[in-house]
Amino acid sequence: MKTENFTLRCFQPRDLDAVIRINMTCLPENYTPFFYLQHYRNFPKAFYVAEVDGRVVGYVMSRVERGLSNHKPLSIVKKGHIVSIAVLPEYRRRGIGKALMTHSLEGLREYGAEECYLEVRVSNTAAINLYKSLGFEMVRVVKRYYLDGEDAYIMSRRLT
Ligand SMILES: CC(C)(COP(=O)(O)OP(=O)(O)OC[C@H]1O[C@@H](n2cnc3c(N)ncnc32)[C@H](O)[C@@H]1OP(=O)(O)O)[C@@H](O)C(=O)NCCC(=O)NCCS
């Protein structure tokens, strides 16, 4: 396992190109620059990047929504939503993904979110394990959620 140090900080607009490049390298779900900047403007404390030797190597982008609770039956609550997370392949398995998630969850908590949810491909064992290690549980399956027809697990955890 590699052991170089990494640092985390909140996303800044100057990170946009790097974040888009990481997203395009790591995920088939891609977004417009406007989409990233909108999340930065609305929820800056939940949008983090990880740096190694001054290079941005990972990010997590999240937001707060209002909707039906996954934990309190028939309640409308503020829910955090992990919209996108990725770490460049050569920097994985050294705790960066977990640290990004932990910081984003703390930001979501600061915005008053009571719980947090996300979608993940049913085949994405790495991400599912990461989320389980942070206390997320599968709450349901959404059939053919992804454009290529793959199903998604909705995973959720309480933040309070
Ligand atoms: C998912 C992802 C962000 C994890 O980033 P990471 O920096 O490698 O994660 P961490 O090093 O913090 O791993 C934390 C835990 O997650 C689990 N995990 C991470 N990668 C794993 C893998 N390849 N296989 C199994 N478990 C894995 C492990 O439990 C790990 O703890 P451990 O290393 O002590 O065993 C990264 O694999 C990635 O960018 N994948 C492509 C993009 C993606 O799938 N994003 C999620 C979309 S929902």
> Tens of pLDDT along 12-22?
999 999 999 99
Which amino acid residue places its CA nearest to atom 5 of ligand 1? Answer: 97
Ligand 1 centroid–CA 128 distance in Å is 8
**Cβ of 105 below 6 Å from ligand 1:** no
CB atoms within 10 A of CB 96: 22
Tens digits of residue pLDDT in 34-73: 999 999 999 999 999 999 999 999 999 999 999 999 999 9
Mutate-to-test residue for ligand 1 from 31, 81, 90, 92, highest number of ligand atoms within 8 A of CB: 92
Domains of the chain by start residue, with CATH: 7-120 (3.40.630.30)
Alpha carbons 65 and 41: distance in angstroms, whole number? 15
Name the pTM for this structure: 0.97
Between strands 76-87 and 115-121, the pairing is: parallel
Ligand 1 centroid–CA 127 distance in Å is 5
